[in-house]
C-alpha cells in the first residue's frame, strides 16, 4: 500500500513540474542562439563602463541619464566577462530572464488559482517578442533588470497585505522599489499598480487601510529617487520627447501593449485596439478589482515611455500585465475542449515569431563581425598609417542596428583587433585629417562588404584655382570641375544630383545652404565628389548658373569646430 502511495506521490510531483520543464526546454531551444550574438550599436557604449565610474553615476548625469545601478550592471559585466567576451554578457541576460520569469510565476500565483493559468502566463512572459529581443540585445536588458526588483516589491506587498503583519516586508518592498527606479525609471508611475496589488490581495475589512499604506510604501522611495535625481541632473530628462504630452501617448500605450501579442495583433490599428482591449479584459477577467489591476499594469508601467518612439524592448514592462490577463483568461476557460488546441496555435505563432527576430538579430551581428574584420584587413592593406574614412557600411540589417554610424574602432577593440590607423565614417573627414594626419584614404565598400574602392584624401588635395562660371543644364560630365571643393549659385538654385560609375544605380543629392541670397554647395562634404573621376555626371532639374571655387567650406567648418572645442575646454 505504501509503495502505491509513493508511486502516486511521484506521479503527482512529475505532473506538477512537467509544464515548467517543458517551458524551460522551449526557452533553452529559443534562447541558446543568443549566446553567439555579439554587440550591436549602443552595446559598444555600455560595454566599456568600469566600477570606478559608479560613484559618479550616483551624483551626476551619467551615460545620458540617471540610471546609476544600470551603470553598475554594465561595469560588473565588464569586470566579470570583459568587452571581448560578448557571450558572457548574454549569459547574464539569460540569468536575468530566468530570475524575472520566476518572480512572474510567484506574482501570478498570488492572484490565479489554476496551475495551468500560472504556467501559460509565465510562458507568455518568457517567449513573447519583446522579451526575445530584450534578451538577444545586451543593451536592451535595462527594462528586464528594472522589472526584477519591482516584481519582488509587488510580491512582498501582496504577501504583507493578505496574510502577514511582519513590519520588515513593507520596508523591504519600498527598498526594492527604489532599487528598480535607480536601475531604470520604468516604474516611475507605478503607485496605482502597487495600490491595486494591495487592494486585490486583501480579503478582510482592512482592505482600504492596506491600500493606502501601499501608496505610502511606494511614495517614500519615489520621493527619495526624485531628490537623488534632482541633485544629480536638476530638471533634466533623458529624452526631449519625455516632456511632451498629448493624444499620442494613449496610442503608444495601446501599441506598446499590442507588441506583446505579436504576431497575432500585427497591423491592428490603435482605433481598433482601444475597442478590443476593454472588451477582452471585461469578458476575460472576473471581478472588477482584477480588471483594474490588469489595466493598471498595462497602463502605468508603459506610461513613462508613452511619448517616445515605439520600441519592442519598452514593451517588456507590459509583460506582467499581459501574463496576468492571459492567466485569468485560461482560468476562466478552464475545462473547455477548445482551450488547449487554441493555446497551442497561439504559442506556436509567438515562439516562431520570436525565433525569427532572434535570428534576424543574429544576422545583424554576423554582418557587424564580418564587416569589422574586413575593415581591419583593409586598414592593413592600404599603405601608410593615415586615417581611413569608410562609406557603404550598412547601419541596419533587418530593422536592427549594426554599427553606430562611423564608429568602427570600438567594435574592432571588442574583437581584439588593434588596427595601426584610425578608422571612422565619412562625416569626420576634414576634422580628422586636420587632427590625425594630413592624408588618408576614403574607402567605398561594396554591398557585400568584401570588395572596395579606395582613393587618397588630404588637407591640401584642392590647389588654388581661378573661379569657373558655368551654366549647367540637364546633365553634364563633371570633367575638371571635380578639382573644386565648392560652388555657389543664385538663391533659387535647386539641388545638384551626382551619378558615378562607383554608384551606377544611385543618385547622390547635394542640397545647397542658402546664405545672404546665395546658394552654397559644399561639394567637399560629399564623399562621392571627393573620390570621383572625370566621368562623374552632374544632373540638375532646371538650368542654373554656378560658380565653382577653390574655397574649401568643409575644411573651414572643421577648423571652426576645433577652435570651439578648445575654447570650451
Q: Is residue 182 located within the same domain as residue 286?
A: yes
Q: Is residue 482 located within the same domain as residue 562?
A: yes
Give the SS3 label for residue 42. coil
DSSP readout, 77-99? HHHHT-TT-HHHHHHHHHHHHHH
* Amino acid 562: pLDDT: 85
Q: Is residue 236 located within the same domain as residue 275?
A: yes
Q: Is residue 257 located within the same domain as residue 278?
A: yes
Q: Give the count of beta carbons closer than 10 Å to the beta carbon of residue 522.
A: 20
* Amino acid 129: pLDDT: 97
The answer to whether residue 287 is domain-embedded is: yes
Q: Is residue 195 located within the same domain as residue 213?
A: yes
Q: Is residue 71 located within the same domain as residue 181?
A: yes
- How does pLDDT run across 321-359, given as a tens digit for each residue? 999 999 999 999 988 999 999 999 999 999 999 999 999
Residue 164, C-beta contacts closer than 8 angstroms, at least 6 positions apart: none
Provide the percentage of residues in the chain whose pLDDT is more than 70.
93
Instruction: Specify whether the backbone of 63 is left (phi greater than 0), alpha (psi in -120 to 50) or beta.
Output: left
Nearest to 132 by CA among 266, 325, 258, 262: 262
Half-sphere exposure of 148 (CA within 13 A, CB side): 18
State the first-to-last Cα distance of the chain, in angstroms, to the nearest integer. 85
CA distances from 199 to 172, 289, 328 (A): 19, 8, 17
pTM as predicted? 0.89
Q: Which of 419, 440, 458 is the last residue of a domain?
A: 458
Q: Mean pLDDT across the chain, nearest whole number?
A: 89
Q: Which of 458, 486, 508 is the last residue of a domain?
A: 458
The answer to whether residue 355 is domain-embedded is: no
* Amino acid 30: pLDDT: 95
The answer to whether residue 24 is domain-embedded is: no
Q: Is residue 247 located within the same domain as residue 186?
A: yes
- 202 within 8 A of 162, measured Cβ to Cβ: yes
Give the SS3 label for residue 368. helix
Q: Is residue 182 located within the same domain as residue 319?
A: yes
The answer to whether residue 29 is domain-embedded is: no
- How does pLDDT run across 244-284, given as a tens digit for each residue? 666 788 899 999 999 999 999 988 888 899 999 999 998 98
- How does pLDDT run across 12-68, given as a tens digit for each residue? 555 667 888 899 999 999 999 999 999 999 899 888 899 999 999 998 887 667 899
Q: Which residue has the higher pLDDT, 568 or 507?
A: 507
Nearest to 253 by CA among 222, 215, 283, 297: 297
- How does pLDDT run across 63-94, given as a tens digit for each residue? 667 899 999 999 999 999 999 999 999 999 99
Say how far residue 204 (Cα) sits from the centre of its chain: 44
Half-sphere exposure of 83 (CA within 13 A, CB side): 20
* CATH number of the domain enclosing 560: 2.60.120
pLDDT interval class at 4 (50, 70, 90)? very low
- 190 within 8 A of 218, measured Cβ to Cβ: yes
Q: Is residue 452 located within the same domain as residue 480?
A: no
Work out the angle at residue 295's Cα, subtended by the Cα atoms of residues 289 and 301, and round it to the nearest 5 degrees.
125
Which structural domain range is residue 319 located in?
A: 48-82+85-334
The span from the CA of 462 to the CA of 523, in Å, is: 12
Domain count, the chain: 3
The answer to whether residue 399 is domain-embedded is: yes
Q: Is residue 537 located within the same domain as residue 419?
A: no
Amino acid at each position: 500500500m505504501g509503495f502505491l502511495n509513493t508511486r502516486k506521490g511521484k506521479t503527482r510531483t512529475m505532473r506538477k513540474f512537467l509544464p515548467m520543464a517543458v517551458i524551460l526546454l522551449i526557452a533553452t531551444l529559443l534562447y541558446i542562439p543568443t549566446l553567439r550574438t555579439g554587440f550591436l550599436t549602443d552595446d559598444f557604449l555600455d560595454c566599456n563602463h568600469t566600477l570606478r565610474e559608479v560613484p559618479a553615476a550616483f551624483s551626476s548625469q551619467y551615460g545620458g541619464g540617471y540610471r546609476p545601478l544600470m551603470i553598475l550592471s554594465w561595469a560588473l559585466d565588464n569586470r566579470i566577462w570583459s568587452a571581448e567576451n560578448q557571450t558572457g554578457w548574454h549569459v547574464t541576460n539569460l540569468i536575468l530572464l530566468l530570475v524575472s520569469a520566476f518572480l512572474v510565476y510567484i506574482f501570478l500565483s498570488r492572484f490565479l488559482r489554476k496551475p495551468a493559468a500560472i504556467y501559460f502566463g509565465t510562458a507568455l512572459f518568457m517567449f513573447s517578442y519583446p522579451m526575445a529581443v530584450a534578451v538577444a540585445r545586451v543593451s536592451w536588458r535595462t527594462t528586464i533588470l528594472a522589472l526584477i526588483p519591482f516584481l519582488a516589491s509587488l510580491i512582498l506587498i501582496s504577501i504583507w497585505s493578505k496574510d502577514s503583519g511582519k513590519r520588515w516586508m513593507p520596508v523591504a518592498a519600498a527598498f526594492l522599489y527604489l532599487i528598480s527606479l535607480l536601475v531604470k525609471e520604468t516604474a516611475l508611475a507605478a503607485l496605482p499598480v502597487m495600490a491595486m496589488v494591495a487592494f486585490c490581495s486583501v480579503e478582510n475589512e482592512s482592505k482600504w487601510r492596506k491600500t493606502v499604506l501601499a501608496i505610502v510604501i511606494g511614495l517614500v522611495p519615489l520621493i527619495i529617487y526624485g531628490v537623488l535625481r534632482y541633485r544629480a541632473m536638476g530638471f533634466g530628462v533623458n529624452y526631449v520627447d519625455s516632456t511632451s504630452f498629448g493624444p499620442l501617448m494613449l496610442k503608444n500605450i495601446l501599441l506598446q501593449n499590442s507588441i506583446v501579442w505579436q504576431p497575432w495583433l500585427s497591423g491592428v490599428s490603435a482605433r481598433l485596439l482601444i475597442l478590443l482591449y476593454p472588451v477582452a479584459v471585461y469578458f476575460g477577467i472576473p471581478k472588477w478589482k482584477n480588471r483594474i489591476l490588469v489595466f493598471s499594469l498595462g497602463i502605468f508601467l508603459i506610461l513613462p515611455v508613452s511619448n517616445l518612439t515605439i520600441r519592442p524592448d519598452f514593451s517588456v514592462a507590459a509583460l506582467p500585465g499581459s501574463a496576468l490577463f492571459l492567466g485569468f483568461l485560461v482560468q476562466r476557460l478552464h475545462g473547455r475542449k477548445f482551450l488547449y488546441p487554441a493555446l497551442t496555435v497561439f504559442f506556436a505563432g509567438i515562439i516562431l515569431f520570436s525565433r525569427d527576430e532572434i535570428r534576424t538579430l543574429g544576422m545583424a551581428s554576423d554582418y557587424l563581425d564580418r564587416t569589422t574584420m574586413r575593415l581591419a584587413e583593409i586598414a592593413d592593406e592600404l599603405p601608410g598609417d593615415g586615417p581611413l574614412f569608410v562609406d557603404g557600411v550598412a547601419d541596419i540589417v533587418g530593422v536592427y542596428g549594426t554599427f553606430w554610424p562611423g564608429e568602427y574602432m570600438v567594435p574592432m577593440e571588442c574583437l581584439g583587433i588593434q588596427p595601426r590607423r584610425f578608422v571612422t565614417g565619412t562625416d569626420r573627414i576634414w576634422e580628422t585629417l586636420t587632427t590625425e594626419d594630413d592624408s588618408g584614404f576614403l574607402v567605398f565598400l561594396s554591398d557585400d562588404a568584401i570588395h572596395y574602392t579606395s582613393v587618397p584624401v588630404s588637407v591640401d588635395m584642392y590647389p588654388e584655382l581661378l573661379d569657373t562660371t558655368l551654366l549647367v543644364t540637364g546633365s553634364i560630365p563633371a570633367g575638371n570641375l571635380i578639382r573644386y571643393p565648392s560652388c555657389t549659385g543664385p538663391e533659387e538654385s535647386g539641388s545638384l544630383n551626382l551619378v558615378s560609375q562607383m554608384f551606377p544605380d544611385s543618385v547622390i543629392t547635394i542640397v545647397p545652404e542658402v546664405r545672404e541670397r546665395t546658394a552654397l554647395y559644399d561639394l567637399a562634404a560629399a564623399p562621392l565628389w571627393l573620390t570621383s573621376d572625370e566621368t562623374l555626371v552632374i544632373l540638375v532639374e532646371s538650368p542654373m548658373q554656378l560658380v565653382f571655387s577653390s574655397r574649401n567650406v568643409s575644411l573651414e567648418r572643421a577648423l571652426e569646430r576645433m577652435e570651439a572645442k578648445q575654447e570650451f575646454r
